Chains A and B, each alone.
Chain A
Amino acid sequence: MHMFAILLRLAWRNLWRNHRRTLIMLLAIVLGTWAMIFMTALMRGMVSQMVADGISVLPGHVQVHHPDYRDDPSIANLISISDAELSERFGTANFPAWATRIRVPAVITSEYESRGVTLLGVDPLQERGLTFVDYDAVEGRFLESADDTGIVIGRKLATTLNTKVGKRIVLMSQDPENEIADRGFRVVGLFDANVQAYEENYVFAGKTTTQKMLRVGDQVSELVVLGDDFRDVEAEYNKTVELIDGRAEVKRWIDLDAYLGTMLNVMDGFVLVWIVVIFLALSFGLVNTLVMAVFERVREIGLMLALGMRPINILGQIIVESLMLLAIGLAIGTALAWAAVQPMKDGVDLSIVGDGMEMWGMSSTLYPELLLSDVILANVVVLLLGFLASLSPAWRAAQYEPIEAITKV
């Protein structure tokens, strides 16, 4: 223990003998650490936002459908359990949020235009908190109940259809027997979404009204459950499987949207690659600094060895010196990255490339996300690899023959 304290002091003093060199290396480590963590926070924020947006449309962390629904999203593939029974089972299960919906393709027609859309027959009370639509920001009003006879459409779609709040439109779809099912609706509200495609693709009508129009009785196309954290939905998934009891297909969102699911995984891999790449770029300088530090101290290392210091302690001293340098750099770099993220907490506006972000499936506001696990990962990886990188110069220093080393000029 006493030895270790001496090593610490020696290493610390050695570090500042050539303060210019140490400072430059420190600067490089700080910059590297900052870039690692800052960039990771941006990337994480992007992916989280993307997944959050994706789930809010998908929507739901755990979803229940008829087994054939996913390949054939038609009204003929409804969940075989009635809505009333589903409500009874899920109503008492204490999920943060859950809802049942009709979700079918339809054609919407105004007196001027027709468009293909996805019709969502919803119960607005269940749906609050699940959907991407902000009820209070709707122009006009959102649906008021499941048997509301109005329809809420996106602002962009309204422009295309040349319609507005108060006007009538016609929805066409099919019933389970493939008879054309159509019905006139009055537009009661226009919603805005942060991704324009949603404004074009989704229309909301009352669930009961939709069931009547499509002549499906008390059945629904999907049931969705929202958990507390989209990264971990196992608890909700297991409970849902139990409640459904094999009578419909239960899926996690990750299984439903391959793109989002892989993005999340690819991100984890990318973070590690990014950290390692930065470290490698740093490592050349780090090893170089150590090699130099050892080289200019050959005589004194020889002297210490001659005075009876054990080679292992020489080794330890160099490694401690290197780890100290890294630790200081990491601490400052991490602090700077944290500071850099703070002013961006309320979101960074990326709307200049908004359409492009939309192509990647992201919205145009970026909220960086500084995860403790990433900070720890970066620090641990750097310290660990830094330890490995310093082994070689430290090992060489420990191998000096005292006599040769002392006589070296």
Chain B
Amino acid sequence: MNLVFRLAWRNLWRHPRRTWLTTGAMMFSNMLLVFMISLQFGMYGLMIDNTLQAFTGHLQIQAPGYIDDKKMRQTVSDIVPLTETLRAEFPEQNIAARATGFALISSEDRSYGIAVFGVEPAYEPGVSTLPGLVTDGRFLVGNDAAEIVIGAALARNLRVELGDELTLLGSGRDGSFAAAVVNVVGIFDSGIADFDRSITEIPLGFFQDVFYMDGSGHHVVINAGSIDGIDVLQARVEAALPAGADLVVHDWDALQPGLQQAIKADMSSAFFMYGILVILVAFSVLNTQLMSVLERTHEFGIVMSLGLTPGRLGRLVLLETSIMGVLGLVLGAVLGGLFTYWFSVNGFAYPGMDEMAAKFNLPARFYPQVSTLSLLTGPLVVFVFTVLAALYPALKLRQLHPVEAMRAV
């Protein structure tokens, strides 16, 4: 073994330029893959977490059909006691109840139609980042107070400031006319004008009064912190629901069907590119190894006539390739890791990214995360394809006839 290894090693360095060029191709694609995969998976994680933690949560309990129709009448009855029970059952999770309605919100100068959410002031900060974004004033406090928190863009459009009054006009659960006057106590600024314009929050108790909810609401939101193990949690929550209650538990994928698919769509185009890159490297290796086999025909003829089997020679060629592959893998992963690490400290941005990032609740600078997975996935695939590419020249050796081979120049 030791002998074969030494032979392979020396063979590699007969043409140092060629070997380095081939290894260079591997290193290049490995570095690229490490960086891209680190960036990509870091991005997906952020995309999921930021989107879900902003407002939606990881699980929601709703009335059947609400997810499609979002009708005011599709309610979860006695939502507050239900939420209390769940909080007692799952003390480690952040759980809060919400109700949703639409209203025409009017200030002195302006009117806008907008979604109004009734939230539990004490628990909402656990399931949404919105309360933390209140830059002016404070978040809601009392459960029955006539207060409202609105976005900065909406406040600007309505021309209102803290302490001003707004009128809500809408229809209640039974279709009857719902109206209320509320005080602006807080203004949040997410930096995304559309988000700021699309959500307003009032206390749940007050919401239930105004919209004739009779103690009911629309969603129980569970923020599990991350999507790991969400299936298990979903099953446990389903089991914990009171017997006979006509309720369903939706996971994040059902709540935000676009999210998972956006990731899939992005992933499939990325994998197409990675695939092309890997195949190109494999071609480069195939070419090199085929050359190195062909130019050694004479020498292989001699060793074969001395009794070496084609199988062992084939293994020699594969070993040479593997050494080269390991070299490319280690150097590529190390350099790629360092390269990526630099960006993970300093951040990565390209022109035009902020607009795209804002659309997916992402920061304008990315900090790719180097992990064992992102470090090794790409390089290992390259390695496997490298060795596969060397199979053809290795198998070609079997057709070699010692006598003819020795005559070859």
User: Does B262 contact A105, Cβ atoms closer than 8 Å?
Assistant: no
**What would 22 A/B residue contacts be, using CB atoms closer than 8 Å?**
A20-B294, A24-B286, A25-B283, A28-B287, A32-B276, A39-B273, A71-B157, A72-B110, A73-B157, A105-B113, A115-B113, A116-B115, A160-B71, A180-B106, A180-B169, A265-B351, A274-B273, A281-B28, A284-B24, A354-B261, A355-B262, A360-B262
A-B contact count (CB 8 A): 202
User: Does A295 contact B113, Cβ atoms closer than 8 Å?
Assistant: no
- Cβ contacts A161-176/B at 8 Å (1 or 0 each): 0100000000011100
- Cβ contacts A311-354/B at 8 Å (1 or 0 each): 00000000000000000000000000000000000000010111
Q: Given A107-B170, A285-B284 in contact, is the A112-B72 Cβ separation under 8 Å?
A: yes
- The 8 Å CB contact of B262, one of A76, A111, A282, A359, is A359
- Cβ contacts B261-287/A at 8 Å (1 or 0 each): 111111001001100110111011011
Q: Which residue of B lies closest to A115 (CB)?
A: B102
Residues of B within 8 A of A107 (CB): 102-104, 113, 169-170
User: Does A20 contact B111, Cβ atoms closer than 8 Å?
Assistant: no
B332 to chain A, nearest CB (A): 13
Q: How large is the interface on B (under 10, 10 to 19, 20 to 34, 35 or more residues)?
A: 35 or more
> A82 near B: Cβ within 8 Å?
no
> Once bound together, how far apart are the Cα atoms of A31 and B269, in whole Å?
17
Residues of A within 8 A of B89 (CB): none
Q: How many residues of A contact B (CB 8 A)?
A: 72
> Once bound together, how far apart are the Cα atoms of A361 and B356, in whole Å?
10
> Once bound together, how far apart are the Cα atoms of A117 and B114, in whole Å?
9
Residues of B within 8 A of A303 (CB): none
Q: Which residue of A lies closest to B284 (CB)?
A: A285
The segment from B13-21, B136-144, B215-223, B337-345 found at the interface with A is B13-21
> B84 near A: Cβ within 8 Å?
no
Residues of B within 8 A of A269 (CB): 350-352
Q: Given A160-B69, A288-B21, A291-B21 in contact, is the A116-B261 Cβ separation under 8 Å?
A: no
User: Does A113 contact B72, Cβ atoms closer than 8 Å?
Assistant: yes
- Cβ contacts A371-394/B at 8 Å (1 or 0 each): 000000000000000000000000
> Once bound together, how far apart are the Cα atoms of A20 and B294, in whole Å?
10
User: Does A116 contact B113, Cβ atoms closer than 8 Å?
Assistant: yes
Interface residues of A in 86-137 (CB under 8 A from B): 105-109, 111-117
> B369 near A: Cβ within 8 Å?
no
User: Does B111 contact A288, Cβ atoms closer than 8 Å?
Assistant: no
> Once bound together, how far apart are the Cα atoms of A360 and B279, in whole Å?
29
Q: Which residue of B lies closest to A295 (CB)?
A: B15
- The 8 Å CB contact of B272, one of A39, A114, A172, A289, is A39
Residues of B within 8 A of A259 (CB): 355-356, 358-359
Beyond known contacts A107-B102, A114-B113, A278-B276: 15 more, CB 8 A cutoff: A21-B291, A39-B269, A105-B113, A178-B107, A178-B108, A178-B110, A180-B104, A266-B353, A288-B287, A289-B287, A291-B18, A353-B262, A353-B265, A355-B258, A357-B262
User: Does B69 contact A159, Cβ atoms closer than 8 Å?
Assistant: yes
A326 to chain B, nearest CB (A): 14
A45 to chain B, nearest CB (A): 12
> A358 near B: Cβ within 8 Å?
yes
Interface residues of B in 116-131 (CB under 8 A from A): none
